[in-house]
Amino acid sequence: MPAVDPFRAPGRWYRACLHAHTTSSDGQMPPESLVRHYRQAGFDVLAITDHWHVTDASERSTDDFLVLPGIEYNARGAGVGHLSSFHVVGVGVRDADTEANAPPAFVDAIHAQNGVAIVAHPSWSGLDAADLLTAAAADAVEVWNAGCELEVARGDSSPQWDAALSRGAVLGGVAADDSHFPGLDSARAWVALRLAALTPENVLAALRDRCYYASRGPVLHAVEAEGDTVRVACTPARAIHVLGPPTAGAGLNAGVMGLAHRAERRRREDSWAEGTTDGELLTGGTFHLPPSARWLRVVVEDASGRRAWSNPLWRTAQGWAAEP
């Protein structure tokens, strides 16, 4: 299925939680309370992903709030070794596959039910890029997991994602709460999905097509790449970076002494996107990549250190595209 550029797709943005637990596994809230909680927190979509258990509360969906069934698998059985903490989340799954016992089988089981497979919290799991590549058929990886950050400061899996991308993996990046204690570890990370309308089919298609970006707060308005030039527009940020293969990145930092590497600040008179500069902070910029950059992705960091992450773009014979 062709990937879609979320910044050019028709429709509007919807906020989704793709990873959360209830009392059906080790979460503290029953499903009906968790649905109310996320709805009140301003989300539009909640996928409930209990360990080895499909919690289906989709009857609680309304016109303006969608509840999707889901599951979280973890590797188990003899000889699984350090991979016992290798977890894979399935969104849109209706039945647990109790025979599956390893990450590639989890991904297959999720896809067999037309679900979306997400490798959960690689940093928390102690996974390296080679481990990730064993589940490279997955749709995405959690670049940020709020619960893992709060509990053990292993929320960020950017290095594993980048290494896998540099080795040819085609994986989206999501941010997720992985909430077990709603109120303490919820509404801290999400994906902004670009949808023509709020339906389960559209949510799953957008996740498959990487028609979204991940965030803990900042809003991405535009990511445009042409030739060796990338333009970004966003809410006020203290740093904007365009990442690529090793040594190929570019970045802008806010402030009069803010370092610019292969980049220029966006100026008030620039007309290519909405907005202006915001005091010392950045609301966009123009970045220049070396020809060695075969893929790129954008990270924006606000004044509090919260980030937003675009999905990757790949350099193709027809120019930059949302798939290789």
Binding site for Zn ion (CB under 5 A): 72, 87, 120, 178
Q: Which of 118, 168, 158, 154 is nearest to 138 (CA)?
A: 118
Minimal distance in Å, beta carbon 119 to Zn ion?
A: 10
Nearest to 203, CA basis, from 41, 32, 6, 42: 6
Q: Which is nearer to Zn ion, 139 or 178 (CB)?
A: 178
- Least distance from Zn ion to the Cβ atom of residue 116, Å: 15
Q: How far is the CB of 89 from Zn ion (least distance, A)?
A: 7
Strand, coil or helix: what is 302? Answer: coil
Instruction: Give the whole-angstrom CA distance, residue 67 versus residue 17.
Output: 10
- The C-alpha angle with vertex 13 and arms to 10 and 18, in degrees rounded to 5, equals 125
Nearer to Zn ion, 5 or 178 (CB): 178
Give 47 or 206: the residue with its C-beta nearer to Zn ion: 47
Between 5 and 139, CB nearer to Zn ion = 139
CB of 58 to Zn ion, least distance (A): 19
CA contacts within 13 A on the Cβ side of 177: 30
Total residue count of the chain as it appears in this document:
324
Q: Where are the beta strands (DSSP E) in 227-290?
A: 229-237, 239-243, 250-253, 260-261, 263-265, 282-288
Q: In which residue are the tokens 């509007």 written?
A: 12
Strands 263-265, 260-261: pairing is: unpaired
Q: Does residue 136 contact residue 104 with C-beta atoms inside 8 Å?
A: no
Cα distance from N-terminal residue to C-terminal residue, the chain? 12
Could you tell me which residues are beta bridge partners of residue 94? none
CB of 21 to Zn ion, least distance (A): 6
Q: Which is nearer to Zn ion, 120 or 298 (CB)?
A: 120
For Zn ion, the closer CB: 127 or 223: 127
- Residue nearest Zn ion, CB atom distance: 87
Residue 183 Cβ vs Zn ion, minimum distance, rounded to whole Å: 17
- Closest approach, Cβ 297 to Zn ion, in A, equals 23
Query: In this structure, what are the phi and psi dihedrals at residue 30, rounded to the nearest 5 degrees?
Result: -70, 160
